[in-house]
Each structure stands twice: as structure tokens, then as C-alpha cells.
Amino acid sequence: MTSTVAETSTITHFINGVETAGSGDRTQSVYNPATGQVSAELRLANAGDINAAVAAARAAADSWGNTSMARRTSILFAFRELVASHIDELAALITAEHGKVLSDAKGEIGRGLEVVEFACGISQLLKGEYSDQASTGIDVYSFREPVGVVAGITPFNFPVMVPLWMAPVAIAAGNAFILKPSERDPSPSLLLARLWKQAGLPDGVFNVLHGDKEAVDGLLTHRDVDAISFVGSTPVARYIQETAIAHGKRVQALGGAKNHAVIMPDADLDNAADHLAAAAFGSAGQRCMAISVAVAVGEAADAVVDKVRERASAVHVNEGTTPDADMGPVITPASKSRILKIVTEAEQDGAALVVDGRDLVVKGHEEGFFVGPTVLDRVRTDMSAYSEEIFGPVLVVVRVETLEEAIDLINANPYGNGTAIFTSSGAYARTFQRSIKVGMVGVNVPLPVPVAHHSFGGWKNSLFGDLHIYGPDGVRFYTRGKVITQRWPEPAHVSAASYAFPSS
């Protein structure tokens, strides 16, 4: 929705090293989801703003790509220290616009910093290979070069972490970067831009362009944008891939998820219930790695449902700065309405409503977008509560009789982002991890988000493109390989070139 309300606080773009309102005349309201009140007006980019951001990045890309890796690394180290010293400020911005509790916001920043630290080792990551005397008098070696101008389109649920999964690796590899953050919580991106500048990054290497579909389409089709990195929903990820590829761009697009956790009868059920509740209700379930389906095997079902009921009923939901709050609101009224609709449909279709969070009201924040923890048992795969990505604090329980049945259930799901198994059996765990068609697997770990020196990404409808984000795949995505074959003839050499294909 757009707004023409008189501006009190305005969030602007960051282009070529300066904050600018740009030339676009459209704005959009930014809300505090805990109060339901407008907190700022966001400037939305028009074609002129898109062109300005791309031109700034294009002008900076060549010189930055030729900057020594020692210089790049020194700026990455400085940026890392600046982010670490501004965690409280960044977390406050996240909580004010996203709604997640401060401890969760700080955790998000910490996971982003891990990738910054990984990117600080870019000199090691960009080393090539050398083959001496590959043919007579000929040596062959390879190295990797930056792709040029990269645009990152990031989601609302991690307004600091996901940009830090992209930009540090891209910039360390020698690219210029344009961040198009979510219009729902845009303020943290501007603070990141200021910190990049303070760290010594040259103007134009990191830019922030705010906007909606017009900005996205402008980046996808602009001839001077070389690559697109995206995290968001599956329908949009598919659109991003198709449009970007049609315009000759490299693309990685991470889509949605429906993450399952299998609970075996031999598992520590108290431990499993603790982690299920945290993974389902943390950040109000607005994580692409949230556990939204508990697959209870055999006799584990009744016990784990009872234990999860206890944990869900004890979750403290409140405004994110409340010291003992476990969970805050969801992001928008539309998101809340959709979640309530799906829960109601499941109940009407025969699911057992174990914990009902639909009528939660937080005292003092009656206009906030709150939904309480909700648990649905005996859910069938034909229910929308199972088939759709709810993206809210809802855990559905599906009952099966065997591990094989659980594996078949998960493999039949169109998503393949993350999954987990809770068990005390190494045999069960090994069977599960080798049989499952999912990109990230946890064993007694509910949110199997890989550490920074591995790569994050799913399978099936959770990933469009062939390279995952950050880690080794991130380096490969933001660079291109080049192979040099060279000969240095002796000074008095008489050419003996052959018209046959060279082989020795």
C-alpha cells in the first residue's frame, strides 16, 4: 500500500555514498507491528533512482575489483568491528520495524557477523590453480574475477542477517552491491550503509535502493546489473529466476519452506519438545528455517503433543523490548489475518486444536499484530495448514507409524529447505540423512542453518539456481573463473606452429 501522508520521519535511499530522497514521489508507510502505528514514511524508487544506483555501482565496480585483496580485507575487518559495536542499535531498529524480541534480533546479527568473518578470508578463498608444463613449454593457471554489479533483494524476516549473507562476500570478491531491502523494515539497511562508509568502503560500492515491484523489476532488467541474489517466497523466487535469466543475468533465488522435524519414540522427548517450541514459535514463526511440521512417529505422538502443549502455553508474547518476552507480533495485519484463516480452516477440516493463539491480545498493545503460539494435531496433508507456508507461530503435528513413512511424507513435499530428526539411534539418523531429499538436515538440531564456511540452501521449490548462499557457493556465485594458457618462446625461437589441435 502506498501513502501520501505528510512526512514526519522519512527513510531515504543510500546511493554513491550519500543518503538521498531520490526523484521518486511515491512513499509507503512503515509500521511498528507491536503497536500497529506508522513509524515512518519510506521513499520508493522510480526509474531515475534505479538508474542512479546502478550507474554508481557500475562506476565503482571496475576500480573496486582492481583493489588489492589486502585493502579489501582491511575494510571487511573494520566493517566487522563496526557492526559488532552497533549491535544494540541495529537490534533496536529490527525490533521496532519487524517486531521480533531483542534477543532474537541480536542473534540474527551474530549469525550475519559469522559471514562477515568468513569474507575476511577472501584471499584464501580466491586462490586459483597452477599446472606447470601442462604441454611442452606451456603453463596453465586459473583465477576468479568479480562478476561486476550485484543486486541483493532481501526479505523482511532477517533485515540484517540476510544482507550480511550477501554483501560482504560479494564486496570482498570485488563486486559493487545494490541492496533492495524489504519495504516493511528498511531502517537497518541504512545503518549498515553508514557503517560500510565509515569502514572506508569507496562510494558506490554499497548502495541501498528502497522500493517495491517497480524497483525489483528495474534491477532484474537493467543491462548493467550482472547478477541477482534473492531470498523470499517461492512464487517470487521463481519469477526472479525466470526474469533475471531472460535478461542474461546470473541468479540465485532462495524460496519458501515447509520444514519437518521427525520425532522418533526413542528420542529424548523433553529435549525434542523444547526445541520444537523454540523452532516453531521463535520470531513468531517468521523464519524460512522454522519448524512448522512435527512428524510424530508411533508412540511418540501423544507424549510429544502433551509436552509441546506445555511449552506453547508458557511462551510469553509481548512487545519486543519487554525484557522477558519470548515472541513478538507478526509483521502485518494481512499476515495475521492469513494465519488465523488457515488455523480456522484446519479446525473445521478436522484437525485437533491443541493450543489456540487466535484471540491473543497483549495488554497495552491492543492494536498490535499479535498471534499466539498455536498447535494443531492430527493434521492431514490435504489441509492448507500442511500444504501452505504459514509463516506464523503455528506448529502442525502429523502422525505416522514408521520412519520410512515419515521420510516418504517429507520427500513428497514440494519444498526441500530444512528438516530434522530427533532420535537416540545412530542407525535411524543415518538412514534419515541419506534418504531425505532436503538441502539442510539436522540431527537433534531443529534449525540446521550451516555455519558460515559451509553454504545455506535447499532443494526443490526452495531454491532456484544451482548455487547456495554464502560460504564456498557464495564465493563461486559472486565470481567467474578465468583460465590462462601461456607460452614464453625462447628469444631465437623459430616458430613450429601446427595446424593440428595442440596436444603436446
Q: Answer yes or no: do 235 and 264 share one domain.
A: no
- Residue 104: which CATH number? 3.40.605.10
Domain assignment present for residue 503? The answer is no
Give SS3 for 147.
coil
| Cβ burial, residue 12 (10 Å; 0-12/13-18/19+) | middle
Q: Is residue 394 part of a domain?
A: yes
Comparing C-alpha atoms, which of 213, 119, 214, 221 is closest to residue 164?
Answer: 119
- Domain of 331, CATH number, reads 3.40.309.10
Query: In whole angstroms, what is the distance from residue 259 CA to residue 288 CA?
Result: 8
β-strands 463-464, 415-416 pairing: unpaired
pTM, rounded to two decimals? 0.94
Looking at the domain assignment, is residue 343 inside a domain?
Answer: yes
| Cell, residue 179 | 541492496
With a CB cutoff of 8 Å and minimum separation 6, the contacts of 26 are: 2, 43, 44, 46
Which strands, in side-by-side order, build the sheet including 138-146?
130-135, 138-146, 479-487
Is the residue at 304 inside a domain?
Answer: yes
- Active site (catalytic) residues: 288
pLDDT tens, the chain, 504 aa long: 343 334 469 999 999 999 999 999 999 999 999 999 999 999 999 999 999 999 999 999 999 999 999 999 999 999 999 999 999 999 999 999 999 999 999 999 999 999 999 999 999 999 999 999 999 999 999 999 999 999 999 999 999 999 999 999 999 999 999 999 999 999 999 999 999 999 999 999 999 999 999 999 999 999 999 999 999 999 999 999 999 999 999 999 999 999 999 999 999 999 999 999 999 999 999 999 999 999 999 999 999 999 999 999 999 999 999 999 999 999 999 999 999 999 999 999 999 999 999 999 999 999 999 999 999 999 999 999 999 999 999 999 999 999 999 999 999 999 999 999 999 999 999 999 999 999 999 999 998 999 999 999 999 999 999 999 999 999 999 999 999 999 998 876 556 667 776 665
Distance CA 79, CA 331 (A): 29
Question: Which domain, by its residues, includes 349?
Answer: 259-443
Residue of 486, 474, 463, 385 lying closest to 142 (CA atoms): 486
Structural domain includes residue 5? no
Task: Catalogue the E-assigned strands of 279-393.
Answer: 291-297, 352-355, 374-377
Whether residue 111 lies inside any domain: the answer is yes
Q: Do both 150 and 251 map to the same domain?
A: yes
139's CB contacts (< 8 A; 6+ apart) are 130, 131, 132, 133, 485, 486, 487
Query: What is the tally of structural domains in the chain?
Result: 2
Same domain membership, residue 302 and residue 227: no
Q: Is 403 helix (H, G, I), strand (E, B) or coil?
A: helix
Distance CA 103, CA 123 (A): 33
Residue 3 included in any domain: no
d(CA 12, CA 325): 31
